[in-house]
Amino acid sequence: METGDIRVRRGELEAFCGSVFEHRGMGPGDAAVTAEVLVAADACGIPSHGVGRLRRYVSGLDTGLMLPRETGTTILESPASLVIDARGAMGPPVSVRTMDAVIAKARENGAAFGTVRNSNHFGIAGFYARRALSEDMLGIAMTNTAALGVPTFGREAFFGTNPIAFAAPAGEEGAFVLDMSTTVVTRGKVEVYERKGGELPEGWAVDHTGKTARDPGSLLEGMQERRGGGILPLGGLDTLLGGHKGYGLAVMVDILCAVLSGGPFGRDVYDTPESSARVSHFFGAIRIDRFRDPGEFRADMDRMLRDLRACPPAEGRDRVWFAGLPEAEAERESKRRGVPLSRKTWEVLRGLAVETGVHLPREIP
């Protein structure tokens, strides 16, 4: 957490964001869900997808890209599959409804999958994958995004940061929750560096010539205006460290989310200066008891995750962790001390409070 950050109570922050969404025409239920998803990111230590995005969501509602009362419609449905046209609905509520419908189908049929097209930014993918955990299921969530990623050996963006989330329950260890972009970083991380006024690390992105990009503001502007340059795929610049593998995963997400649902993909997905692009999602749930006893599965997961934590750390490192552990620890810390927010994000919220008349949450001393 950067120097000068503040903390606020999670419930108060959710109430504030929900009231801002209601001010822009959302119903109370959908407003509360959207606020919950945004605040969950900050509480779990993922500020790139947290309430710092609230202004862009409000801009999306103001410009009509995000429709406050739209709920989407079912296009195709079977006992184990679902296709939803969100028709411009807010991403979090339509995604929660779709994931919950997929889980309900999996209860009856062992596994189920759903796609959503014509949706909007849905926050952290792990939020949806985690919904399957209490059902003794494996959860899957993905989304395509605006084209920000540069193919291996390329210098123009042709795919999104296209995150993949996978959640598996454990016992005492909690859960394994992988939530990763298929690019080296997300645009949100670049935005965090811009807010801090820092220089981008080498290996994150390239400019319009294909050379290392250092200035986050210039990179963000170039991607927004589609002048070339973008974020590198997982593995980096070329094939030496597996950049082609991250590239392949990003395209896979585009196929499952967009090509399968009939939504736009690749360069046809792009942001506006005011808000985010219309995007597509993919969700899945798999019943563990169709393979083995869930209790035995959880016990073996505990053993696996403990073994990973017990791995001797590299020199200069204090420990080894597994996917989901840092977020779980951050969430417990947020519960104890409050959700951390940067001062710049706080000023954005302050501006929205003045604009909407909604009371700002109290800072925790």
pLDDT tens, residue by residue, 22-68: 999 999 999 999 999 999 999 999 998 999 999 999 999 999 999 99
Residue 1 has pLDDT above 80, yes or no: no
Fill in the amino acid letter for 76: L
pLDDT value for 3: 44
Model confidence pLDDT, tens digit, residues 111-158: 999 999 999 999 999 999 999 999 999 999 999 999 999 999 988 999
| C-alpha distances in Å from residue 235, one per residue of 220, 240, 322 | 21, 8, 19
**Cα–Cα distance for residue pair 203/283, rounded to 1 Å:** 31
Going by C-alpha positions, the residue among 36, 11, 19, 54 that lies closest to residue 338 is: 11
DSSP structural state of residue 288: G
Strand partners, 250: none
pLDDT value for 307: 98
Percent of the chain with pLDDT over 70: 98
**Cα–Cα distance for residue pair 354/84, rounded to 1 Å:** 37
Q: Does domain 70-182+228-310 have CATH number 3.30.1370.60?
A: yes
205-206 and 230-231 beta bridge pairing: antiparallel
Equal CATH topology for 1-68+339-365 and 70-182+228-310 = no
pLDDT value for 4: 53
Model confidence pLDDT, tens digit, residues 230-243: 999 999 988 999 99
Q: For domain 1-68+339-365, which architecture applies?
A: Orthogonal Bundle (1.10)
DSSP per position, 227-272: -SBEEPBTT-SSTTTTHHHHHHHHHHHHIIIIITTT---GGG----
pLDDT value for 196: 81
Total number of residues shown for the chain: 365
| Domain boundary assignment for the chain | 1-68+339-365, 70-182+228-310
